[in-house]
């Protein structure tokens, strides 16, 4: 436990809060900026004496409950919450469940990639965002049917084109779902999804017992597109660690027939959008 650093972090974050932002009265003059120690202790549901000792680097190691209360009271970001737990010498506990919304700036990034198919998946392999080229590449039912790639892969819900990476993708899905099950053990939606996959797919159950391990990165695959034919594609994963999400960027080698096919698909998508808007 880094007592001095923890004490400094708490003092600095407390000084940066304005009472009015937290619904507290701010009418009497304050000798120092930010919240008073007793105000923060009340918001964090802990004793004033204990909080004072933490700020003075004299307190014992705080429990996860106390740290969670401090993180909420101080309005810490996910990264700051992780830092608070590290300073206290504790492992950051998982959130209640996978984040199933995508941040607006991530959506805007997808929109600025006209010749790259891009999707965003949550920790349970739910599709939380995609751009028009991804919809053209993977089927028009991308947003109409199930938006969970694990259910598409193992339960045949939604269109899945033939791909050279079908078996590999199955292992990748199971590895990620195993991580999600460890990280979010109390999420009912994830538990229900896993139960359905076990009940509906013997392949899923077999892979689950094999405990595959996979780290996201670069891979290649060939997709048998019904209009464009075989497409040789590159898949690269960017992480959104604060939300436990992955951005998958799908491209083709520059100047290749597959790159020209993606460009043609993107052009058709723009034409279709313009026609629909007129």
- The structure tokens 């460009």 sit at 263
Phi, psi angles (nearest 5°) of residue 235: -120, 120
Which alpha helices (H) appear in 56-187, and where do they start and end? 64-73, 78-87, 104-111, 132-138, 149-155, 166-183
Question: Residue 99 pLDDT more than 70?
Answer: yes
pTM: 0.68
Give 3-87's CATH code, choosing from 3.90.230.10, 2.30.30.140, 3.60.60.10, 1.10.260.40. 1.10.260.40
Pairing state between β 218-225 and 229-240? antiparallel
223-277 pLDDT tens trace? 888 888 999 999 999 988 878 899 999 999 999 999 999 999 888 777 766 666 4
Domain ranges for the chain: 3-87, 104-277
Phi, psi angles (nearest 5°) of residue 144: -90, -35
CATH architecture of residue range(s) 104-277: 2-Layer Sandwich (3.30)
Tokens of 13: 């974050």
Rounded Cα–Cα distance for residues 132 and 265 (Å): 10
CB 153 within 8 A of CB 160: yes
1-42 pLDDT tens trace? 889 999 999 999 998 887 766 666 665 666 666 888 998 999
Q: What is the mean pLDDT of the chain?
A: 85
**In sequence order, what are the residues at sequence separation of 6 or more whose Cβ sits closer than 8 angstroms to the Cβ of residue 130?**
110, 117, 118, 119, 120, 142, 143
């Amino acid at each position: 436990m880094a007592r001095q650093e923890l004490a400094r972090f708490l003092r600095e974050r407390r000084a940066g809060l304005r009472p009015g932002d937290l619904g507290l009265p701010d009418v009497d003059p304050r000798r120092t900026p930010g919240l008073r120690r007793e105000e923060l202790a009340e918001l964090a549901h802990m004793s004033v004496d204990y909080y004072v000792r933490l700020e003075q680097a004299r307190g014992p190691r705080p429990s996860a409950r106390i740290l969670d209360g401090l993180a909420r009271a101080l309005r810490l970001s996910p990264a700051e919450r992780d830092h608070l737990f590290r300073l206290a010498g504790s492992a950051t506990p998982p959130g209640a469940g996978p984040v199933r919304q995508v941040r607006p700036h991530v959506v805007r990034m997808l929109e600025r990639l006209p010749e790259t198919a891009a999707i965003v998946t949550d920790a349970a392999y739910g599709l939380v965002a995609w751009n028009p080229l991804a919809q053209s590449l993977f089927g028009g039912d991308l947003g109409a049917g199930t938006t969970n790639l694990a259910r598409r892969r193992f339960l045949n819900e939604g269109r899945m084109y033939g791909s050279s990476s079908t078996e590999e993708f199955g292992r990748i899905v199971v590895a990620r779902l195993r991580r999600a099950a460890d990280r979010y053990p109390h999420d009912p939606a994830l538990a229900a999804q896993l139960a359905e996959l076990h009940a509906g797919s013997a392949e899923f159950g077999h892979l689950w017992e094999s405990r595959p391990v996979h780290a996201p990165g670069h891979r290649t695959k060939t997709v048998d597109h019904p209009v464009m034919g075989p497409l040789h594609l590159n898949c690269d994963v960017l992480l959104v660690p604060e939300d436990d999400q992955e951005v998958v960027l799908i491209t083709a080698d520059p100047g290749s027939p597959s790159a020209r096919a993606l460009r043609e698909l993107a052009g058709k998508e723009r034409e279709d959008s313009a026609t629909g808007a007129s």
